[in-house]
Structure 1
Amino acid sequence: MTRQSETAPAIREVMLECRDLTRVYREGPRDVTVLDGLELRVRAGERVAVVGSSGSGKTTLLNLLGGLDRPTRGEVRIAGESLLSLGEAALGRFRNRHIGFVYQFHHLLSEFTALENAALPLIVRGQRKKAAEALARELLDKVGMQERADHKPGELSGGERQRVAIARALVTDPSLVLMDEPTGNLDQATAASILALMDGLAVTAACAFVIVTHDPALAAHQDRVLRLDGGRLAEQARHA
């Protein structure tokens, strides 16, 4: 497969930028610095994997990038907008418009079907239910869930729930997709289909991806691999 980075223009818009990103937590009498002056730039259409040991701060980083947490110092900019400049209501609208999330543990609503879960971000945005569900069904088809669209999460396997979560993240055509172990519960064939879908979106929709993973094969498939260590990111060399 031809890599997206080989076919894209040499310079593309910076979709995500972190400057001096720092997060300090208070634990009893002491401060614990999880991220320490972290810098990151991801361009439109670029796929970046973040690897690191357990407890290195990968989930904290995703939460900051998605506006689910606020930094102690520094800023996150997405599509040119500083998240720090947004109040809670505006931040919620911005996330709905620009950011897709794939959590490690799905976070699907148990009372809704797979189709309703996947369509929910569009309905929250104000789109009519029929149109939202039509778009959601297209994404469910692409992740191999067309036969399970009317089932609720309790009737789905872990891998099936993960595919619904991926469809939900992509249905809004976001600028940035944040993924936490997106293929961890998927069989090899389904994981390959998800990677192909991500490849296509990176090229055709100029969607940027930041993917936290422990899977070397998934990391190696991305344009860049960054290791989080000591609160900062460093480029990881690729092995031939």
Structure 2
Amino acid sequence: MSQATGPSGKVMLACHDLTRIYREGPQDVTVLDGLSLEVRAGERVAIVGSSGSGKTTLLNLLGGLDRPSRGEVLIAGESLLALGEAALGRFRNRHIGFVYQFHHLLAEFTALENAALPLIVRGQRKKAAESRARELLAKVGIAERAAHKPGELSGGERQRVAIARALVTDPSLVLMDEPTGNLDQATAASILALMDDLARTTACAFVVVTHDPAVAAHQDRVMRLDGGRLNEQIEPA
């Protein structure tokens, strides 16, 4: 990716008329209703909203983990709907980093192996993948725990491993679901600083779902999800 000094003209993520309807018994429940969003390269967007408003559903759609009932998602100009499951998996590995609210680390692997896994799945040699993973574990302040398995780590440490795993592939877009929820204030600040650096130097775009007003205020834009639609919010909630 090219060097950048902040949000550029290139649209990294775009969704149009995004709708997700779930069937619950005899009723259809509309979670997202004709939602649209654009995020440019190097831009950091926070999404806030009440519990149950559909924030995680939106992240799953943006990352291709779920399919919309209507509408489309484009990342780096590529429509996710146009990709079959195998091609979509390869595309996610190349372009998208995920930080899940509940980590989803593999219990039998060490922190280093978990962080390196996306590169190994891509076909990179283990030594090179683990070297890159070690760099990211150092950046999130957990290098000394590289040989420990998730069960031996605190919640905050597991979260930092998950963040390293999301960033290890140098993705075009990072989707984060409550990324600082289990972190102390100093560690959370270091993660936000790392996001700043990556947005500035690699043009990576971030979409961050958060309940934390400080995290929301740190992003370039804050969007509120309400009634299935996104609205620009001047003052973070």
**TM-score interval w.r.t. the shorter chain?**
over 0.9
> 1:12 Cα deviation (Å)?
1.9
Deviations 1:161-185 (A, max 9, x none): 0000000000000000000000000
Q: Distance in 1 between matches of 2:115 and 2:9?
A: 29
Q: In the alignment, which residue of structure 1 is the partner of 2:147?
A: 150
Match of 2:39, SS state, is strand
Q: Distance in 1 between matches of 2:191 and 2:48?
A: 19
> 1:8 Cα deviation (Å)?
3.4
Match of 2:182, SS state, is coil
Q: 1:190 aligns with which of 187, 192, 197?
A: 187
Residue 6 of structure 2 contacts residue 203 of structure 2 at CA under 8 Å; is this kept in 1? no
Q: Distance in 2 between matches of 1:38 and 1:50?
A: 13
Q: 1:135 aligns with which of 128, 132, 135?
A: 132
| 2:123 is aligned with 1:122 | no
Percent of aligned pairs with the same amino acid:
86
Q: 2:90 aligns with which of 89, 93, 96?
A: 93
Q: 1:67 aligns with which of 48, 64, 69?
A: 64
What letter matches 2:175 in structure 1? L
| 2:165 is aligned with 1:164 | no
What letter matches 1:82 in structure 2? S
What letter matches 1:8 in structure 2? G
Deviations 1:30-86 (A, max 9, x none): 100000000000000000000000010001000000000000000000000000000
State TM-score, norm by structure 1: 0.95
Q: In the alignment, which residue of structure 1 is the partner of 2:18?
A: 21
Q: Distance in 2 between matches of 1:8 and 1:230?
A: 31
| Structure 1 gaps, min length 5 | none
Deviations 1:83-111 (A, max 9, x none): 00000000000000000000000000000
What does 1:76-87 align with in structure 2 at a 5 Å threshold?
76-87=73-84
What does 1:209-224 align with in structure 2 at a 5 Å threshold?
209-224=206-221
| 2:38 is aligned with 1:30 | no
Match of 1:159, SS state, is helix
Q: Distance in 2 between matches of 1:210 and 1:146?
A: 26
Deviations 1:187-236 (A, max 9, x none): 01110110010000001110000000000000000000000000000000
Report runs of 4+ in structure 1 exceeding 6 Å deviation. Answer: none
Q: In the alignment, which residue of structure 1 is the partner of 2:234?
A: 237
Q: Distance in 2 between matches of 1:164 and 1:118?
A: 6
Q: Distance in 2 between matches of 1:233 and 1:132?
A: 38
Match of 2:66, SS state, is coil
What letter matches 1:236 in structure 2? Q
Over the aligned positions, Cα root-mean-square deviation in angstroms equals: 1.1
| Structure 2 gaps, min length 5 | none
Q: Distance in 2 between matches of 1:138 and 1:202?
A: 18
Deviates more, 1:11-20 or 1:101-110: 11-20
What letter matches 2:136 in structure 1? L
How many residue pairs match? The answer is: 233
Q: 2:222 aligns with which of 215, 222, 225?
A: 225
Q: Distance in 1 between matches of 2:93 and 2:47?
A: 23
Q: In the alignment, which residue of structure 2 is the partner of 1:39?
A: 36
What letter matches 1:129 in structure 2? K
Residue 49 of structure 2 contacts residue 224 of structure 2 at CA under 8 Å; is this kept in 1? yes
